[in-house]
Structure 1
């Protein structure tokens, strides 16, 4: 009997991954961006304990990584910040030999300009930023375009992300410009438009904007589609609008920051997240779109066919993905500080 138990124990131990590191993983990720069960199941399967910290903006994440230098093994920057951090030497190259599930990803989201050949990043989720409207309170015709946000009756009813790129995207699209605009004259025009809009905003929230919407604190919110999905699930009278002027699209990626100490654990978690069943669970629960092609058939039809989560080709055609802006981002930040403090 003792021999049998010993044999079973040896088999179980051999089935567990072997790690040269500490068996710990420090994940720095957007708020409410990964299901608890995904993290818990990873720990059950591997024995690796995940320490999770959150942020509510790329700027906050970037500042902490640049200042601290270490302390985290995985981060989740958006595409423009992948490019910035890659160019500044703040990311470590991935060991693709440890990422067998990388083959599950759709080529549509690979080898992009912000990280050619995905040397430093693995796409985690993608989605849109657009307008959610409480049609039960305002009716169907109150907000159908970006321009409608500037209506006087929207004063005190608006929520915006606490992010300069997303706020400027609204003004730039209203003016007919690219959300990746670098022309100072066009940015000045957008700034002037935002000077009219910002005083009308009741709440700035990039952390959990759904709370203010569901509580009735605001009637209209410019939010990420995952937040809109959850709001709509709880109250179907909230509509997610793809305006005629266009919409902002984005990709968030997983990266290993320079100074990470638990590289084996980081690669194990990356590979786990690219498993089709895991990617499907994340998309289904979070309401964001997965770049994992192998996961699509595992996502329930109600989510896979929900236009909030997966926009139509027609709506996607009006969208524009955020690119890295280089030195111009300083101008965005300067204007943003003025808008928030004047």
Structure 2
């Protein structure tokens, strides 16, 4: 297969950014794994999903199966990372000419960051969303995110390539007890440069995320084709604050005192701060970076199957209000239906701790990472490598 990744996509491919699984599984994680295993055992599934084990809580899978008007059997293919799901799409595509292969999922959960390369590599197909009852109720941000040209670039004249169903945002997670008493709060990205945080910060090991938040700190767009004035100096100073680039084990570092602050995803952070109440969280008012999980349809499936009633029913199920409430309760995650909702209007599990939710005014300043031109991506990647070396 021809390599159609951009430089930064290749750099990110082996990173843990898209693994976004909370390691605070506990007893709930065991129960979830058991329920998913039960879904997989069906040999006569009429709906097949491929996703992370925690992307849709098992309680919601059961609720969809128990709808009275249909006999529904859901088979789930769980993957350890969203990179693994992307690899599944590549594997199915490479085996498309073969006669023997594992059943292809009707829907695959993919991160929005991977949508552009999936389109360019011909791994997914455009969707007909006119039949979805809930599609027109979504905020404009969602169709704009997934309406792309055949090169994967956002385009008002493009096709719809995915259906977003949950999202999260980057936050500052920190231990106030390890900061000076008179300055024991963090609120902005620039606060990460405070002298007391030297070698006390953990950042994601991903160039677009780190340089994107640096762009936000400087009042520029994370998707700017041109690095902001002062970006190199800001990132040089930020790098001096970093203890580690790690998206996987930062909680241990916070708890044992090896780090004071981390940048992490809101849906990973939420169960942590509920268990460890001495930790604090903030969303910088200058805006943050966003990530969405999408349902995409493998290109190798017959196009006529795209309009199947049950497949559309699953998408409508993931876009309705009940799903949003139950996703908050059982998954401690935010549905696309809740975009732009004030923190005090969110389902109760998402209202605490204060400071974690994304206020509408900050949401307006926040961004998804979008594809950049090869020259621009090369400049950012060169900066990332130069400073880190």
Specify if TM > 0.5.
yes
Q: Indicate the residue corresponding to 1:254 in structure 2.
A: 295
1:251 Cα offset (Å): 3.4
Residue 355 of structure 2 corresponds to residue 329 of structure 1: no
Of residues 217, 222, 247, the one that matches 1:179 is: 222
Q: Indicate the residue corresponding to 1:11 in structure 2.
A: none
Alignment CA distance shift 1:22-1:332 (3 Å): farther
- Greater alpha carbon shift after TM alignment, 240-249 vs 227-236: 240-249
> For 1:69, what is the secondary structure of its paired residue?
helix
After TM superposition, the score normalised by the length of structure 2 is 0.65
> For 2:80, what is the secondary structure of its paired residue?
strand
Find the aligned partners of 1:72 and 1:203 in 2 and give their Cα distance: 37
Superimposed CA distance per residue, residues 8-59 of structure 1 (whole angstroms, 9 cap, x where no aligned partner): xxxxxxxxxxxxx854624134x743323334544566222211113266xx
Find the aligned partners of 1:331 and 1:66 in 2 and give their Cα distance: 28
Residue 139 of structure 2 corresponds to residue 107 of structure 1: yes
Q: Indicate the residue corresponding to 2:211 in structure 1.
A: 168
Q: Indicate the residue corresponding to 2:272 in structure 1.
A: 231
Alignment CA distance shift 1:113-1:231 (3 Å): closer
Of residues 137, 145, 150, the one that matches 2:193 is: 150
- Greater alpha carbon shift after TM alignment, 172-181 vs 301-310: 301-310
Find the aligned partners of 2:223 and 2:126 in 1 and give their Cα distance: 27
Written as runs of structure 1 = structure 2, the 5 A alignment for 1:1-342 is 23=46, 25-29=48-52, 32-42=54-64, 46-55=72-81, 62=86, 65-66=89-90, 69=93, 73-96=106-129, 99-102=132-135, 105-112=137-144, 114-115=146-147, 119-138=160-179, 139=181, 141=184, 143-183=186-226, 186=228, 189-198=230-239, 200-207=241-248, 209-210=250-251, 212-214=253-255, 216-260=257-301, 267-292=312-337, 300-301=347-348, 303-304=350-351, 308=355, 310-327=357-374, 328-336=376-384, 342=389
| Contact 1:158-1:203 within 8 A present in 2 as well | yes
Q: Let me know the Cα RMSD of the aligned residues.
A: 3.9
Find the aligned partners of 1:87 and 1:40 in 2 and give their Cα distance: 35
> For 1:96, what is the secondary structure of its paired residue?
coil
Find the aligned partners of 1:192 and 1:323 in 2 and give their Cα distance: 24
| Contact 2:199-2:242 within 8 A present in 1 as well | yes
Find the aligned partners of 1:72 and 1:202 in 2 and give their Cα distance: 40
Alignment CA distance shift 1:324-1:76 (3 Å): farther
Alignment CA distance shift 1:285-1:306 (3 Å): farther
| Contact 2:82-2:111 within 8 A present in 1 as well | no
| Contact 1:75-1:257 within 8 A present in 2 as well | yes
> For 2:78, what is the secondary structure of its paired residue?
strand
Q: Indicate the residue corresponding to 2:152 in structure 1.
A: none
| Contact 1:114-1:323 within 8 A present in 2 as well | no
Find the aligned partners of 1:125 and 1:77 in 2 and give their Cα distance: 11
Find the aligned partners of 1:201 and 1:32 in 2 and give their Cα distance: 29
Alignment CA distance shift 1:107-1:172 (3 Å): closer
After TM superposition, the score normalised by the length of structure 1 is 0.73
- Greater alpha carbon shift after TM alignment, 216-225 vs 316-325: 316-325
| Matched positions, count | 316
| Contact 1:147-1:174 within 8 A present in 2 as well | yes
Find the aligned partners of 2:251 and 2:358 in 1 and give their Cα distance: 20
